[in-house]
Each structure stands twice: as structure tokens, then as C-alpha cells.
Amino acid sequence: MPMIKQLLFLCFLFSCTMALQGQLQSTPKAIVITSKKKKTKVHTNDHGELLVNVSRKNVAKFKTRGYVQYSDFDSVGDGKTDDTYVIAATHAFANRYSLSVRADEGASYYIGGIEQPVVIQTDTYFGTANFIIDDTEVQNKNAAVFLVSSKLEPFKINGITSLKRNQEKIKADLPGACLVTVTDDNTKHYIRVGQNENNGSSKMDNFVVDQNGDVDMDSPVIWDFDQITDLTAIPIDKETLKISGGRFTTIANKAESKRNNYYSRNMAIRRSNVIVDGLEHHVTGEGDQGGPYRGFLNISDCANVTIKNTILTGRKTYQRTNSEGKPFPMGSYDILLNRTLNVSFVNCSQTNDIHDKTYWGILGSNYCKNLLYDNCSFSRFDAHKGVANITIRNSTLGYMGINAIGTGNLIVENSSIYAKSLINLRNDYGSTWEGEIIIRNCLFEPRGGVPPCASLIRGVNTGQHNFGYTCYMPEQILIDNLHIDDSKLPADHKGPTIFADFNPEMTDATYQEEFPYIKTKQVIVRNTTTATGKPLRFSYNPFMFKDVKLDTN
């Protein structure tokens, strides 16, 4: 009798079209899965397609068992033989049958430079396995190694031509809860100033709506959109996908240290409702030069992601030449967030010293809302192109401290900050925070700065640059039970200040701002002490803050 082909599946692995610039620019190659009488085998054909045959006996076995292991597809796991194709094939089969995946305990999987992203769509238990990711020779530096994705595809929303700030409902026919991203390509925001100046980015926002179009007001629309060039909905999976364990080691690339030479080679999370628990990421082989990284954990275009009990690694800071021909530090991240809502880091730390300035700050973010550090020890928190709502609690922040611009509430409580300032409002984006800052039960030890000083809130805005939006200082600041350890500052320092000198040129009423910087209305100070006994002062520039109400009762 002729052989009957019971199953023939083409699993096209896709990347979200709205991924971070430079991330997953090429669509992963197709994986062809068949079920024949022949033995289970993974191989490639002359066209570069990955072919996976799983015997009918094994299909039944795996479905009954409820999970598959890499060894079921003949992984070697010796830390030397490239297991990329086998790992990708295992997950492709698991995705098709909704089976979980388990790494073999104690195995060491070598992942070379092959461009074959491993698509994860089911619960995955990496356990005690080691994954060695060799970036010394890669086919595509923009491709992820692991892509955590949804089976639900994004779609366009038509018929909506405008949106208003804090709008509570949109008129759209939705299959369920969705993350909606709105873009106006005709309006530019975040027109950066300084060493990395640019012409800005398209006006953008993202928010969650339910199937009735009701907006989740915990992550509201924060801009008015008088025109819309794109409105995309990304369905939110109802079930939580869990990824646990695994020790990942990146052998760093040796590429030229330049601005447009970023590497991904990471775990890209593009699915909502994900928990990563107990993962470790280490880095080895960093030399005199190297291309920067876009985060080993690269989380974009999703909502409700929790990273817990996880250890990450700060990347070495390299120098590049800026537009003036001068050396300039180049950032490289182990965590990068973009257009992501409700992301929590709980009980997380990094392998290297959070005070070591040879390593770049560990996290960067853009267009995010509701970010949380809880019981974390990291070198930095950083929000570049705006964040709505930050909470940092029970945590320790190192030499790069807290850097942010955005809206909503910025809450720092029960934490220790060892940096130039307790909070730095990024001057390259206008030092804007439209909302409130709350500092409660904290320790601040000022470190660095030229000249050495102690300012709780630092920033710069001369009122002469158009950032694409009105810039605000926090409307209200509450400082309650803060201890400032200024004992390491020069003995002649005059005492810490609430505000740094945001504009040294604004010393009297003759100074005119072309783009007015809206000042703080009220500062409330309770139970604040210093190690030297010197009083907390208002600012190095009292004129700029002369109309701010100070409440010390």
C-alpha cells in the first residue's frame, strides 16, 4: 500500500511587524513538519528549509505525555555541537500540538551563528540546562535567538481618525482584549538635543482596550491625536505563558564599536501575559571593542510581563566617535523595553557590581507604561522616550541611578540610591515629568558629579529647544522620611538641594523662554535628615524656583 501522509504542516514563524528598529528585520525561515513512518529526524534541505519528521508513534507518545524534550529530537547537549536546529524544531512541533517543552537536566546546548530563531509559544522549562550563545560569527545580528510570540496576529483598525487624551472608549470591532498602538507620522516627538541629537520620532502611544473598546484607564491615552496614520491592535492572549530556569551565556561579538552596529541575539518577548522565572544571563569574551546589544531580554509590543528571580549582566561600556570626532560612551543593554505595558521586575539582580562604571546601565525603555522594580539590585532604571508611571520599591540602584521622563506617578520607596542624583530627569528629552514624584522611606548617597554635590532631582531645560511637546517639571513632589548620606562630599559643601540648577542662565526676570518649561507648584518635605547635619536647601538657582510652594509642616 502506498505510504499515507497523515500530517503535513507548514509552520511559518513570523515576527511582529512593529518590533524594535533593527530587531528581527527578516522573517524566520519556514519549518516543515511531517509525520511519516520513518524515524524522527531534523535536517535542512538545499533551500535552507528546516525539515522535521516525527514518527507517528512518537506523535502519539508526545501528545499523551504532554511535553517534548530536546533529546526527543536528538539534541547532543555537549556544549560544542550546534543544537540550534534541533531546539527550533522541538519548539515548532510543541507549538503545533500545544505541548510544553523541557530542556534536558544538566545539558549544555551550543547555539552558533545560524539564523534560525527558536519560536516559543508554549510553556518552557529550561531548568538546569546551559545555553551557550556564540556571537563571534553570526549570519544576521538583528535576528533573535529565542522569539516568544503569540499565535494571535496583529490587525489594523480602520475608521478612527482621531483620539483624545484620557479618552475612555474607541469604536472598534475587537475579538477580545487588545494592545492598541496609535501613530501620527506627521507629528514629531522626542526631538533629542545634545550628543545624540536627532529630528525626533513619530508621535506614538499605546493602551489596552477590551473587546467592547473600553480603554483600561490604568494605562490611558496620554496624547491628543488630531490625525492618525496607523492604528494597530495586537490581541492579548488570555492564558499566561511561563518560561522558567536556564543559564544562558553569551560569547560577545568582536564587531566594531559604532552607533548603528547593534546586535539582538536575544530572547525577544512579543506576547502578552508572560512570566519569566529563574533565568540567568551571563556574558563572556568582551574585549577591546564590540557591537552594542539591544538587550538579552527584549520586550516589545505586549502587556503584562513579569520577570522574577532572574539574574542578568551589565554590558561593557565601549567608546565610539561622535559627530564632533570625540570619543563618546556607547550604551549596551541586557534589558530593553519598547511599547510595553505593565512590566514587573521582582527579586532580580545583576552579576556585576552595580557601582562599576565600566559597565553600562542594565535597562533602557521607550514608550512604556506601568513599570515596576520590586526587590531588585540594578545599576540603573532608564526611560528614554517617555514612560507613564514608575514604581521602584525595596530596591537598590547603582551608579547610573534613576533616569526618566514621562507622565503620571514616579514612586520611589523603601529603596537605596547611589548615584549623582536621586532622580535624573533626562535633559536630552527636556527633563519633563508631567505628574507627581513621591520619595518615601529612602536612602540617597550622592556619588560622582562634577563638581561633587547632592541634588535630589536633576535636569536641564533652557526653554530654547522644541522637543515636540510642552515640558513640565513634576507638579508636586513629596519627600517623606529620606536620609541623605552626604558624608563623602567635600567638607565645604553647603548642603544638599531638592533641585539642581536646571537653567544657570535664568537668574532674573529678563530671561525669556521660547518654549516655556512649566515649573513645579508644590514640594512637601517630611522627616528628611542628612549625615552631616547640613540642612536640605531648595536649589542652586533660587530664582528659577521662587514661585514653588514649600511645605515642611
Percent of the chain with pLDDT over 90: 84
CA 222, CA 204: separation in Å to the nearest integer? Answer: 10
d(CA 145, CA 266): 5
SS3 71: helix
User: Looking at the chain, how many residues does it have?
Assistant: 553
DSSP 174-220: -SS-EEEEEEEEEEEE----STT--S-EEEEEEEEE-TT-BB-TTS-
Is the bond into 504 cis (omega within 30 degrees of 0)?
Answer: no
CA atoms of 135 and 126, how far apart (whole Å)? 21
> Would you say the pTM of this structure is higher than 0.85?
yes
- Model pLDDT, residue 319: 83
Q: Where are the domains of the chain?
A: 155-235, 413-553
Residue 451 has pLDDT above 80, yes or no: no
Calpha distance 204→340 (Å, rounded)? 12
Each residue's pLDDT tens digit, 106-124: 999 999 999 999 999 999 9
Q: Which residues of 82-107 are buried (b: 16+ CB within 10 A; e: fewer)?
A: bbbbbbbbbbbbbbbbebbbbbbeeb
Between 210-219, 284-293, 437-446, 449-458, the lowest mean confidence (pLDDT) is in 449-458
pLDDT band per the 50, 70, 90 thresholds, residue 3: very low
H/E segment holding residue 94: helix 84-97
CA distance 417 to 398: 6
Contacts of 119 (CB under 8 A, 6+ apart): 13, 28, 88, 91, 92, 95, 147, 149
pLDDT of residue 329: 82
How many helices and strands, by DSSP H and E, does the chain display? 2, 42
Helix (H, G, I), strand (E, B) or coil at 263: strand
HEC profile of 323-384: CCCCEEEECCEEEEEEEEEEEEEECCEECCCCCCCCECCCEEEEEEEEEEEECCEEEEEECC
- The helix (run of H) or strand (run of E) holding residue 92 is helix 84-97
CA triple 328-359-372, angle to 5 deg: 110
Backbone angles phi, psi at 84, to 5 degrees: -55, -50
d(C-alpha 206, C-alpha 385), whole Å: 13
Mean confidence (pLDDT) of the chain: 92
Gyration radius from the chain CA atoms: 25
Band (9; pLDDT cuts 50, 70, 90) = very low
Residue range 359-412, pLDDT digits in tens: 998 999 999 999 999 999 999 999 999 999 999 999 999 999 999 999 999 999
| Calpha distance 25→412 (Å, rounded) | 37
- Residue 27: pLDDT band with limits 50, 70, 90: low
- pLDDT by residue (tens digit) across 200-248? 999 999 999 999 999 999 999 999 999 999 999 999 999 999 999 999 9
